[in-house]
Amino acid sequence: GLAVVIRAVCDAGDEVIYLSPPWFFYDALIRAVGAKAVSVKVDPRTFDLDVAAIEGAITPRTRAVIVNSPNNPTGRLYPRATLDRLAAILERASVRNGRRVYLISDEAYSRILFDRRRYESPTESYPSSFLVYTFGKQLLTPGERIGYICLPPDMPEREAMRGAITMTQFVMGWAFPNATLQYAVAELDRACIDLAALQRRRDLMVAALSDAGYQVHRPEGTFYLMPRSPWPDDAAFVRHLRERDVLVLPGYLIEMPGYFRISLTASDAMIDKAIPVFAAAMREPVPA
> Which residues lie near its own copies (CB under 8 A)?
1-4, 12, 25, 28-29, 31-32, 34, 141, 143-146, 170-182
Name residue 76's beta-bridge partners: none
In the complex, what is the shortest distance from the CB of residue 13 to its own copies, in angstroms, rounded to a whole number?
A: 12
Q: Shortest approach of its own copies to residue 26 CB, angstroms?
A: 11
Sheet holding 15-20, edge to edge: 36-41, 15-20, 62-68, 102-106, 129-134, 147-150
Rounded to a whole number of angstroms, the minimum distance from the CB of residue 56 to its own copies is: 28
Indicate the residue type of 74: T
Pairing of strands 15-20, 36-41: parallel
Indicate the residue among 23 and 231 with the shorter CB distance to its own copies: 23
Q: Give the shortest CB-179-to-its own copies separation in angstroms.
A: 3
Least distance (Å) from its own copies to the CB of residue 66?
A: 13
Residues 130 and 103 sit within 8 Å (Cβ to Cβ): yes
Q: Which helix (H) or strand (E) holds 130?
A: strand 129-134
Specify the residue, 2 or 49, whose C-beta has the smaller distance to its own copies. 2
Of residues 52 and 183, the one with the C-beta less far from its own copies: 183
**Exposed e or buried b for every residue in 61-78, given b needs 16+ CB within 10 A?**
ebbbbbbbbbbbbbbbbb
Of 174 and 196, the one with the shorter C-beta distance to its own copies is: 174
3-state secondary structure of 113: strand
Closest distance of CB 67 from its own copies, Å = 18
Q: What span, in angstroms and rounded, lies between the C-alpha atoms of 244 and 281?
A: 10
Closer Cβ to its own copies, 26 or 126, answer by number:
26
Residues contacting residue 218 through CB under 8 Å, at least 6 positions apart: 75, 202, 206
Which CB, 143 or 285, lies closer to its own copies? 143
